[in-house]
Chain A
């Protein structure tokens, strides 16, 4: 065989050693597992089997021996660790009698004893032991190891019975049995021995080893415990088969020790110790399993000898033992099956009073094991079903009536243990739900603990003179019982009747006396708090509260009043907010007792207030008792004790109260009412949601009491957010302490039960508070006086307590008619709380009138006349006007709106849009003042203008002179429109439309001004500012000066212009600006003229090669010569050939060249002279001049003709004309 890793080689060695004496055929070592790696399949099982009870330190055997529990703690250590102290706490508190023994609760593991190891002085042995102990995680086999000396005495095995014929069992299960098999009787004893194969003294050593084995065997005489030998070797062994000496000597050693080859192991002490150890313990585990298997077989073999009449107990015992051995064998399925059978057998036993406890104890044990295993098998429902069955079967098995408390204690323990098991399973991953969680079991356990307490109180109320019996009947010679669940004074007794009635009596007395000393409350509280923790987890707030109430009550019984009070106080608000008044009243009653017994004045008063209140379900008699006590406390006297209190505690309490009286100071208590439902209700309201500063602010405070007797108070005050007002809203009465009981006085300071009392307060708001909110921060009602004790009932806001909100809602829903109350009485439900009001400014008594002529015209100085007239009775002082654009409008409007007071100058951008605080001075009553505002709006559109007039006036309110600031706002919307539409046109001198102009050829600019204003406008003047590219042909005088335009009228003027040649471009050349100066015709002279600037359009300038123009008179006359000159101007640098042809016409005869061909030199002009002779009068067409340019064929005749006149007016021949001619002649 090939050498592999060191771990593998050991494995082979081990295997080979075993092969030699057995049949062989072992499976080959799996892979290269070095031994230190874990074995995965076991992990999952062991993870589940975590036993929190089984702590390594819970040593059950003799203290000196080292032993370890194999069950892994790593990972789950937290869970286990946290449970342990809790457990020990419970153990300490409850009498240990009812606790399950630890060996029952632990997880059974195979017990293997290691001998021949000197762990104190031998380092090698220590290392081996450490390897066994250290890192026992879930993946390692569940074995509990112990190091024992080689000559350790194991418990003696009793002579095995061959026949059961005459045997009568004395009990079900011996108390020591479980511990014996867990910790005393090993399944396997391992003898460690240092011996190498090539040891020089082989023979001697071999026999020594054999002796050691023999000693162990001797000690285990009669038991089936296995023995194994481990040789500790220094050398690494050779692969099997190669070391012939080893094989030979191993066989010899086996022979000498009478061992099978399976039980001899070699442990080389090398680097890979842990790997070897794991291999070893797996082998041990197999041996242990075989041992427990044979034990099970042995127990089962007894069965056939038993008969059902005499050996009933043995059936249970054997079944239990089989189950327990199965557990040790880690066969939990069979263990569960056997425990179930055992459980059924327990209940088949004949039960009578003397053995009831034993039966219940065994039933409890078996049930515990079953439930544990069910949870372990992840079958919680099976566990619950088993437990329910268990409880149902055992509930009625009370046993001795004198010891009934024992049954309750036992039941309590059953529930508690199940709760613990359930909780533990949850910690390991089980999911519980609201209706099935451990809390219910703890709760039930607590319930039984309470029952136990009650029963104990009934049964154990012996005189204090009753002495504990001596000798103690509960003492046993051995200090422990022989069998579980038996009575110490009659152990091993199984018949129906007790053997000695006297002993029985003494024994019961002893138990009763012991029970008397048990602190039941502590037990109950622990269980309740466990339950509370669970219910908190599973969303049961009400259950939690209920249990906390029970805890509080239990603390009360245990006389721990402060804890009781703390708990009750904590849950009170839950019941209050859910409005379960009956429960609340009950809790309050207990709390009041606690407060009384501790002398807690504030708590006492608080609870009294609420118990007197409308939520309390107490009857009037109880209420009036509480009220009387409350009055006593307020008068600094001791209250009468609460009923049903412990008399001793009352004595202490009375002393405390007496001390309280003598203590001066700190006698003022403030109680916040919104957390309670006190016996006085309060509502406060301002009469209006807002008050003018010159009106007094009015407040009504309503009080209603619910106590059985009229109640006096000493002070009522309202507090505001502005504390200056507080002084105005106080009612105070310094009454004598003797008056306090004088209920007949119906004074204002006395509240009659059920009647609503109204208190009216008034004050004048401060002028600084105008625009502010006045709020009621609290209403304080003071009971008692400074002389005695003083309680301030403090309602936050305008009153209302923990219940009033819902009541108000119900009242609004109600269809009931409000009762008619006499006179000034108010129906409580109709009052609504109004805790805040606004102080607003006084109503102004001035008129503000605005005069203007809308719409405004763009850029004009629009005049807005504001007239302010005072209607005040006194002088209005310090009048200020704020006017202009109302803030908050489009930012663009703000930029294009300017306001000024000075109308004589045009305002510019430096003027604001809003003029604030223009001082106007004072106005006497009736006086009037006018202010003109000038607004310039740069853009059309709608604007909102604000005119705000503020002033100060002095008035008298409630006899107090106050200075009021008043103001009045007016807003108007003003539309702005353009004053006129201006259009500019370029036309030829013949007024023909032109798309472009020709360079150096005159043309006309036509300006049309169409008035769009509803008001007549005066054009003061107009002006044309030409661009440099334009020149005027003649004088540029305005033709429109002083023209008045009505709406819709149009004014036009034209200018003759000329344009020098310009480089051709598409956008044309600038023409200049046209400025119109205008104003409204109605405007005053002082109003400045508005200049409206119109930018003229660009014009495209073109050149023309030939310019033609004519010179002719403005009119002709029939038969009179009409001289016409045509000028042809060459505008190019070229010589041009021009052909001219005059088209004849019926209206004219003419003389001159009819057709001519000319040549015109560059930049010169040619003159053609014609004499036309008109033949007809009227507007006549002139003979056309047709020009064609051979060089520029594109220039058509039509284009050129545009420069020439086409018609002329011909006057008829007349007398006058003749005269002229005559004259001329």
Chain B
């Protein structure tokens, strides 16, 4: 039944338009992380390995369609309004794309190889939580200008560490 119910995801009710979006893409062989700005531009993208990187850029970019749709569907009966995790965005043959949106509408996206069965909903959820925490740390840096590309080494190391785990 998943096909049409689309997993009953929840969105945050915070009505803040725009917001940056952090998009992460992790595949079991290729890891990828993106963060988008006011108009959904990427703040951070990481793909492991880097070959075929462009394809993942496209995958993440197209997944924003679903993220936006889910965000705009505010007002529908939601399971939990504090839930930031959007779940599986859409199924493709080869990858699973997961989404997460913070209260300020920063988007995180993780792309995982669909053959990777080790990563289940709970693992993805905790990965997002880690990402979110790390992103919050970046934002707390007074020298970071919101909207700029993320160049924090700490953030980068955290993402790399997460991707190593996955591989």
Within 8 A of A (CB), among B135-166: 142-143, 145-148
Q: How far is the CA of A436 from the CA of B7 in the complex (A)?
A: 12
Q: Residues of A contacting B42 with CB < 8 Å?
A: 579-580, 582
Q: Is A215 an interface residue (CB 8 A)?
A: no
Task: Please tell me which one of the listed residues B57, B65, B66, B147 contacts residue A580 in the complex, with CB atoms under 8 A apart.
Answer: B57
> A37 in the interface, Cβ–Cβ < 8 Å?
no
- At the interface, yes or no: A546 with Cβ under 8 Å from chain B? yes
CB pair B4 A434 closer than 8 Å? no
Q: List 30 A-B contacts (CB under 8 A).
A: A381-B3, A384-B3, A385-B3, A433-B6, A434-B66, A435-B6, A435-B90, A436-B3, A436-B4, A444-B93, A540-B62, A542-B62, A542-B65, A543-B65, A546-B58, A549-B58, A578-B36, A578-B40, A579-B41, A580-B42, A580-B57, A582-B54, A583-B54, A583-B61, A813-B146, A813-B147, A814-B148, A815-B142, A816-B143, A816-B145
Tell me whether A806 is interfacial, beta carbon within 8 Å: yes
List, in ascending order, chain B residues with CB within 8 A of A810's CB: 145, 147-148
B51: Cβ under 8 A from any A Cβ: no
* B109 contacts partner chain A, Cβ-Cβ < 8 Å: no
For chain A, residues 565 to 600, give those with C-beta under 8 angstroms from any C-beta of chain B. 575, 577-580, 582-583, 586
Query: Does residue A440 face the partner (Cβ distance < 8 Å to B)?
Result: yes
- Given the complex, which residues of B lie within 8 Å of A434, measured CB to CB? 65-66, 69, 90
A539-561: CB near B (< 8 Å → 1, else 0) gives 11111001001000000000000
Give the Cβ gap from A532 to chain B, nearest Cβ, in Å: 12
Q: CB < 8 Å: which of A381, A447, A543, A580 contacts B93?
A: A447
Interface residues contributed by chain B, number (CB under 8 Å) = 32
Q: Chain A residues near B41 (CB, 8 Å)?
A: 578-580
Is B89 an interface residue when CB atoms closer than 8 A count as contact?
Answer: yes
Cβ of B60 to closest chain A Cβ, rounded Å: 9
- Binary contact track B54-82/A, C-beta < 8 Å → 1, others 0: 10011001101110010000000000000
Q: How far is the CA of A436 from the CA of B91 in the complex (A)?
A: 9
Interface on chain A toward B: helix, strand, loop, or mixed SS? helix
Cα separation A385 to B41 with both chains bound (whole Å): 35
Closest to A443 in B: B92
A186 within 8 A of B: no
The reply on A380 being an interface residue by CB < 8 A is yes
- Of chain B, the residue at the smallest CB distance from A540 is B65
**Interface residue B39 (Cβ < 8 Å from any Cβ of A):** yes
Q: From residue B167, how far is it (CB to closest CB) to chain A in Å?
A: 23
| Cβ contacts under 8 Å, A546 to chain B | 58, 61-62
Size of interface on A: residues with Cβ below 8 Å to B = 35
Query: Which of A444, A579, A815 is in CB contact (< 8 Å) with B37?
Result: A579
Chain A positions 803-848 with a Cβ under 8 Å from a chain B Cβ: 806, 809-810, 813-816
- Tell me, yes or no, whether B15 is within 8 Å of chain A by CB: no
Question: A582: which B residues are within 8 A, CB to CB?
Answer: 42, 45, 54, 57
Contacts of A380 in B (CB 8 A): 3-4
Q: Restricting to A363-385, which residues have a CB under 8 Å from any CB of B?
A: 380-381, 384-385
- Please measure, in the bound complex, the distance between the C-alpha atom of A385 and the C-alpha atom of B91, giving whole angstroms: 13
Q: For B37, what are the chain A residues with a Cβ–Cβ distance below 8 Å?
A: 579, 806
The answer to whether A814 touches B58 (Cβ under 8 A) is: no
- State the Cβ distance, A7 to closest chain B Cβ, in Å: 47
**B37: nearest chain-A partner, CB-CB:** A579
CA distance A434 to B6 in the complex (A): 9
B69 to chain A, nearest CB (A): 5
Contact A381 B4 (CB under 8 A): yes
State whether the Cβ of B14 lies closer than 8 Å to any Cβ in chain A: no
B100 to chain A, nearest CB (A): 16
* CB atoms of B39 and A814 under 8 A apart: no
**Chain B proximity mask over A430-445: 1 for CB below 8 Å, otherwise 0:** 0011111000100010
* B residues with CB within 8 A of A: 1, 3-4, 6, 36-42, 45, 54, 57-58, 61-62, 64-66, 69, 89-93, 142-143, 145-148
Known: A436-B4, A436-B90. 8 other contacts (CB 8 A): A381-B3, A434-B90, A435-B91, A440-B90, A578-B39, A582-B57, A586-B54, A816-B145
CB pair A815 B3 closer than 8 Å: no
Partner of B39, one of A384, A540, A579: A579
* Least CB separation from A392: chain B residue: B93
B62: chain A residues at CB < 8 Å are 540, 542-543, 546
In the complex, chain A residues 1030-1053 whose Cβ is within 8 Å of any chain B Cβ:
none
Q: Considering the chains assembled together, what is the distance between the CA atoms of A447 and B93 in angstroms?
A: 10
How many whole Å from B68's CB to the nearest CB in chain A?
9
User: Measured between alpha carbons, how far is A569 from B148 in the docked complex, in Å?
Assistant: 28
Complex: how many Å from CA A546 to CA B65? 11
How many angstroms between the C-alpha atoms of A432 and B4 in the bound complex? 7
C-alpha gap A586/B145 in the complex (Å): 28
- Return B66 CB to nearest CB of chain A, in Å: 6
Chain A nearest Cβ from B15, distance in angstroms: 20
In the complex, the answer to whether A815 meets B143 with C-beta atoms within 8 Å is yes
Q: How far is the CA of A549 from the CA of B54 in the complex (A)?
A: 12
Q: A433-B6, A806-B37 are in contact. Are A539 and B69 (CB under 8 A)?
A: yes
Q: Which chain B residue has the least Cβ–Cβ distance from A575?
A: B61
Q: Please indicate the chain A residues that have their CB under 8 angstroms from the CB of B39 in the complex.
A: 577-579, 806
Most B CB contacts (10 A, CB to CB) among A440, A543, A580 go to A580
* Also in contact, A580 and B4, with CB within 8 A (given A435-B90, A444-B93, A806-B38): no
A356 to chain B, nearest CB (A): 21
Give the distance in Å from the alpha carbon of A806 to the alpha carbon of B90 in the complex. 31
Contact B58 A583 (CB under 8 A): yes
The reply to whether B64 and A542 contact each other, CB–CB distance below 8 Å, is: yes
User: Which residues of chain B are within 8 angstroms of A432 by Cβ–Cβ distance?
Assistant: 4
Closest to A549 in B: B58
- Measured CA separation A541–B41 after assembly (Å): 15
CB contacts (< 8 Å) of A433 on chain B: these are 4, 6
Given A435-B6, A815-B143, the answer on whether A580 and B89 have CB atoms closer than 8 Å is no
Could you tell me the distance between the alpha carbons of A1103 and B5 in the complex, rounded to whole angstroms?
105
Nearest residue (CB) in B for A415 is: B93
Indicate with 1 or 0, residue by residue over A381-412, a CB within 8 angstroms of chain B CB atoms.
10011000001000000000000000000000
Q: Which residue of B lies closest to A583 (CB)?
A: B57
Q: Give, as a whole number of angstroms, the nearest-CB distance from B45 to chain A.
A: 8
Contact B145 A436 (CB under 8 A): no
**Interface 1/0 per residue, A417-437 and B, CB below 8 Å:** 000000000000000111110
Which A-chain residue is minimally distant from B72 (CB atoms)?
A539
Chain B CB within 10 A, most for which of A432, A444, A543, A806 = A543
Task: List the B side residues contacting A586 at CB < 8 Å.
Answer: 54
Q: Which residues of B contact A543 (CB under 8 A)?
A: 62, 65
On whether the beta carbons of A815 and B54 are closer than 8 Å, the reply is: no
Q: Which residue on A lies nearest to B148, using beta carbons?
A: A810
> Closest Cβ of chain A: how far from B38's Cβ, in Å?
7
Residues of A within 8 A of B38 (CB): 806
Report the separation of the CA atoms of residues A444 and B61 in the bound assembly, to the nearest whole angstrom: 18
Q: Smallest CB–CB gap between A818 and chain B, Å?
A: 13
A435 vs B66: C-alpha distance when bound (angstroms): 7
Q: Which residues of A contact B58 (CB under 8 A)?
A: 546, 549, 583
Q: How far is the CB of B18 from chain A (nearest CB, A)?
A: 12
Q: How far is the CA of A806 from the CA of B39 in the complex (A)?
A: 10
B residues less than 8 Å from A583 (CB atoms) = 54, 57-58, 61
Taking CB atoms, residues of chain A closer than 8 Å to B147 are 809-810, 813
A1013 CA to B142 CA, complexed, in Å = 70
**Given known A433-B6, A435-B66, A806-B37, contact A813–B54 (CB-CB < 8 A):** no
Looking at the assembled complex, report how far the CB atom of A414 sits from the nearest CB atom of chain B, in whole angstroms: 12
**Shortest Cβ distance from B53 into A: residue:** A582
Residue in chain B with minimal CB distance to A585: B54
Q: How far is the CB of B61 from chain A (nearest CB, A)?
A: 5
A816 CB, nearest partner CB in chain B, Å:
7
How far, in whole Å, are A135 and B57 apart by their CA atoms in the complex?
A: 55
Tell me the complex Cα distance, A432–B91, Å: 15
Is the Cβ of A435 less than 8 Å from the Cβ of B146?
Answer: no
Do B66 and A813 have beta carbons less than 8 Å apart? no
The distance in angstroms between the C-alpha atoms of A541 and B54, with both chains bound, is 18
Chain A neighbourhood of B69, CB < 8 A: 434, 539
Q: Which of A434, A444, A575 counts the most B-chain CB atoms under 10 A from its CB?
A: A434
